[in-house]
Structure 1
Amino acid sequence: MGGEPDGRTAGAAEDVRDDAGASAAEGAEAGDGGTEVPVGGEPDGRTAGAAEDVRDGPGASAAEGAEAVRETGDGGAGVDAGDAASGGRTDSDGAAAQLPPAEATEGTPALSEAEAELAAQRVERERIARRKAERQGPVESGGKLSGRAADLLAAVRAVESGEKGGAPAFVEPAPAPRRPAPEPVRRPEPVPAVAAPDAEAVGAVRAVLAEGGAPEALAPRVAAALGDGAEDTLRADPWQLLRVAGVRPEQADGFARALLGAECRPDDERRGRALTVWLLEQAAVAGHTALDLPALTEALVKRAVPDPDEAVQSALAEGDALVFQDALEEPGAQPVAAGEDAEDAQEVPVRVLAGLERYALAEESLADALARLVNSVPKETEEPWETAVAALSRGAADLARQVAGHGLVLHTGGEAARAEPAALLGAARAAGLRAFAVCHTPDGARRFAAHLDEEPGGAVGTVAGLLSGASGPGRDAEGALALDLLVVLDAPQLDVEAAAMLAESLPDGARLVLSGDPAVLWSAGPGRVFADLLAVPACPQVASRVPDPGPLGELVSGIGVGELVQVEAPGKEIVIVPVRDPGEAVHRTVQLVADSVPRAFGVPPEETVVITPGHGGAAGTRALNTVLKERLNPGPGRFGGFDPGDRIVHSPAPGRTVPGRVVRADAEGLHLECAGAPVVVPRELVESRVRHGWALTAHQAVGGRWPAAVVVLPGDAADVLTRPWVYTAFGRAERHLSVVHGVEQALPKAVAESVAKPRTTRLRTLLRVQLPPVG
Structure 2
Amino acid sequence: MSTDPAAAPADEDAPAPQAAAAEDATPPEHGAEEAPGEGGATGTEADAEASADAAEGAGAAPAPSGAEAELAAQRELRRRIEERKAGREAPVEAGGKLQGVAADLLAAVKAVEGGAAPTAFVPETAPAAPRRPAPEPARPAPAAPAAPTGPSDRAVDEVAAVLADGGAPASLGSAVAEALGDGGAAMLREDPWQLLRARGVRPEQADGFARALLGAEARPDDARRGRAVIGWLLEQAALAGHTALEADALRAALGQRAVPDPEGTLRAAVAEGDVLVFQDPLETGAPAAQAPASGPGGPDEAEEPAGTPVRVLIGLERYALAEESLADGLAGLVNTRPAAGPGLDEWQSAGGEGRGSAAELVRAAAGHGLVLHSGGEAARAEPAALLTAAASLGLRAWGAVHGPDSRARLAATLSGEVRAVTVAGLLSGAEGPGRDADGSLALDLLVVLDAPQLDVESAAMLVEALPDGARLVLSGDPGVLGSAGPGRVFGDLLASRACPVVVSRTPDPGPVGELASGVGAGELTAVDAPGHEVAIVPVREAAEAVHRTVQLVTESVPRAFQVPPEQTLVVTPGHGGAAGTRVLNAALKEKCNPGPGRFAGFDPGDRVAYSPVPGRTELGRVTGAEQEGLRLRCAGGEVLVARDRVAGTLRHGWAVTAHQAVALRAPAAVVVVPGDAGAGLTRDWVYTAFTRAGRHLSVVQGVGPALAAAVAERPAKPRTTRLPLLLAPQLPASA
2:189 match? 235
Find out whether 1:720 has 2:683 as its counterpart.
Answer: no
Equivalent residues of 1:573, 1:737 under 8 A apart: yes
Instruction: Give the distance between the partners of 1:566 and 1:398, measured in 2 at CA.
Output: 33
- From the superposition, tell whether residues 634 and 495 of structure 1 become closer, same or farther in structure 2 (CA, over 3 Å): same
Find the aligned partners of 1:210 and 1:536 in 2 and give their Cα distance. 51
Q: Residues 498 and 731 of structure 2 are in contact (CA less than 8 Å); yes or no, is this contact kept in structure 1?
A: yes
Q: Which runs of 5+ in 2 are unaligned?
A: 11-19, 119-130, 291-301
In the alignment, which residue of structure 2 is the partner of 1:191? Answer: 146
The alpha carbon displacement at 1:496 in A equals 0.8
Equivalent runs, 1:473-512 vs 2, <5 Å? 473-512=433-472
Task: State the match for 1:539 in structure 2.
Answer: 499
Cα distance, 1:477–1:640 mapped onto 2, change above 3 Å = farther
1:112 aligned residue: 65
In the other structure, the counterpart of 1:614 is 574
Displacement of 1:489: 0.6
1:222-273 deviations in Å (ceiling 9; x for gaps)? 2332233333222211111111222221122222223222222222111111
How far, CA to CA, are the matches of 1:178 and 1:353 in structure 2? 27
1:72-107 per-residue CA deviation (whole Å, 9 max, x = no partner) reads xxxxxx99xxxxxxxxxxxxxxxx9xxxxx9xxxxx
Checking the alignment, whether the CA contact within 8 Å between 1:28 and 1:46 is kept in structure 2 is: no
Structure 2: how far apart are the matches of 1:712 and 1:110?
A: 32
Correspondence for 2:522 among 549, 555, 562? 562
Q: CA offsets per residue over residues 149-174 of structure 1, 9 Å max, x none?
A: 68734525647989799xxxx99842
Distance 1:610 1:773, change over 3 A: farther
Q: Is the 8 A contact 2:397 2:418 kept in 1?
A: no
Residue pair 1:211, 1:259 contacting (<8 A) in 2 also: yes
Equivalent residues in 2 for 1:315-330 (5 A)? 315-329=269-283
2:245 counterpart of 1:291: yes
Deviation at residue 532 of structure 1 after TM alignment? 0.5
- Name the CA distance, whole Å, in 1 between partners of 2:81 and 2:108: 25
Q: Determine which of 331, 337, 344 is the counterpart of 1:371.
A: 331
Q: 1:384 to 1:44 in 2, by over 3 A?
A: farther
Aligned CA distance change for structure 1 residues 272 and 178 (closer, same or farther; 3 Å): closer
In percent, how many aligned pairs have the same letter? 62
Tell me the residue number matched to 1:86.
none
Q: Per the alignment, do residues 306 and 150 of structure 1 end up closer, same or farther by CA in structure 2, a change over 3 Å counting?
A: farther
1:125 CA displacement = 3.8
Paired letter, 2:324: E
Report deviation, 1:404.
Answer: 1.6
Which SS does the other structure have where 2:400 is aligned?
strand
Aligned mates of 2:556, 2:43 — CA distance in 1:
30
1:639-681, CA deviations, whole angstroms, 9 ceiling, x for partnerless residues?
A: 1211111111111223211111111111221111111511111
Q: Tell me the equivalent position of 2:347.
A: 388
Distance 1:259 1:131 in 2: 35
2:407 maps to which residue? 445
1:309 CA drift (Å): 2.3
Question: For the Cα contact (< 8 Å) 1:121–1:467, is it kept in 2?
Answer: no
Which of these residues, 529, 548, 555, is aligned with residue 489 of structure 2? 529
Local SS of the residue matching 1:610: strand
* Corresponding position: 1:516 with 2:503: no
1:672 aligned to which of 626, 632, 652: 632
Q: Are the equivalent residues in 2 in contact too, given 1:389–1:400 (CA < 8 A)?
A: yes
Q: Does 1:415 find its partner at 2:400?
A: no
SS at match of 2:732: coil
Question: Are residues 752 and 219 of structure 1, via their aligned partners in 2, closer, same or farther at CA, if it must alter by over 3 Å?
Answer: same
Structure possessing the higher relative contact order (Cα contacts under 8 Å, 6 or more residues apart)? 1
- In the TM superposition, residue 119 of structure 1 has moved relative to its aligned partner by 1.6
- Could you tell me whether the CA contact under 8 Å between 1:433 and 1:484 is conserved in 2? yes
Deviations 1:285-304 (A, max 9, x none): 11101111111111112222
Q: Aligned letter for 1:155?
A: A
Q: Tell me, in whole angstroms, the C-alpha distance in 1 between the residues paired with 2:97 and 2:254.
A: 29
SS of alignment partner, residue 451 of structure 1: coil
Secondary structure of 2:436 counterpart: coil
Cα distance in structure 1, aligned partners of 2:429 and 2:398: 13
Q: Secondary structure at the match of 1:276?
A: helix
Q: Residues of 2 paired with 1:262 and 1:652: CA distance? A: 40
- Partner amino acid, structure 2, of 1:253: D
For residue 412 of structure 2, give the secondary structure of its aligned residue in structure 1.
helix
Distance 1:444 1:330 in 2: 36
Cα shift at 1:766? 0.4
The 5-angstrom pairing of residues 704-743 of structure 1 reads 704-743=664-703
Q: Secondary structure at the match of 1:383?
A: coil
1:429 aligns to 2:391 (yes or no): yes
- Deviation (angstroms), 1:458: 4.7
In the alignment, which of 45, 67, 87 is matched to residue 55 of structure 2?
Answer: 67
Partner of 1:659: 619
* Stretch moving more, 554-563 or 463-472: 463-472
8 A Cα contact 2:448 2:473, kept in partner:
yes
Task: Give the partner amino acid of 1:383.
Answer: P
Unpaired runs of 5+ residues, structure 1, are: 7-15, 55-62, 70-77, 80-95, 97-101, 103-108, 182-187, 337-341
Root-mean-square deviation (Å): 3.5
Contact 2:447 2:475 in 1 (8 A): yes
> Structure 1 residues 368, 47: closer, same or farther in 2, change over 3 A?
farther
Q: 2:276, 2:330 → 1: CA distance? A: 23
Q: What is the identity, as a one-letter code, of the residue corresponding to 2:550? A: V
The answer for the alignment partner of 1:177 in structure 2 is 138
Distance 1:699 1:45, change over 3 A: farther
8 Å contact kept, 2:270–2:276: yes
Per the alignment, residue 39 of structure 1 pairs with 38
2:502 partner SS: strand
SS for the counterpart of 1:461 is strand
TM-score, normalized by length of structure 2? 0.86
Per the TM alignment, residue 376 of structure 1 is displaced from its structure 2 partner at its CA by 2.6
The equivalent of 1:59 in structure 2 is none
* CA-CA distance at 1:68 after TM superposition: 8.6
Letter in 2 for 1:661: R
The aligned residue for residue 598 of structure 1 is 558
Question: Which segment drifts farther, 617-626 or 241-250?
Answer: 241-250
Letter in 2 for 1:542: V
Residue-pair matches, total: 694
SS of 1:305 mapped into structure 2: coil
Per the TM alignment, residue 317 of structure 1 is displaced from its structure 2 partner at its CA by 3.1
Q: Distance in 2 between matches of 1:322 and 1:523?
A: 23
- Matched residue SS, 2:433: coil
Aligned partner of 2:267 in structure 1 is 313
User: Deviations for 1:585-636, whole angstroms, at most 9, x for unmatched residues?
Assistant: 1011111101111011110001101000000011100111111111101112
Alpha-carbon distance between aligned partners in 1 of 2:98 and 2:209, rounded to the nearest angstrom: 41
CA contact (8 A) 1:43 1:286 kept: no
Q: 1:470 & 1:331 partners in 2: Cα distance? A: 42
2:661 is aligned, of 701, 712, 721, to 701
Question: 2:697, 2:144 → 1: CA distance?
Answer: 46
Residues 27, 659 of structure 2: 8 Å contact kept: no
Distance 1:532 1:653 in 2: 25
Find 1:213's aligned residue among 152, 167, 177.
167
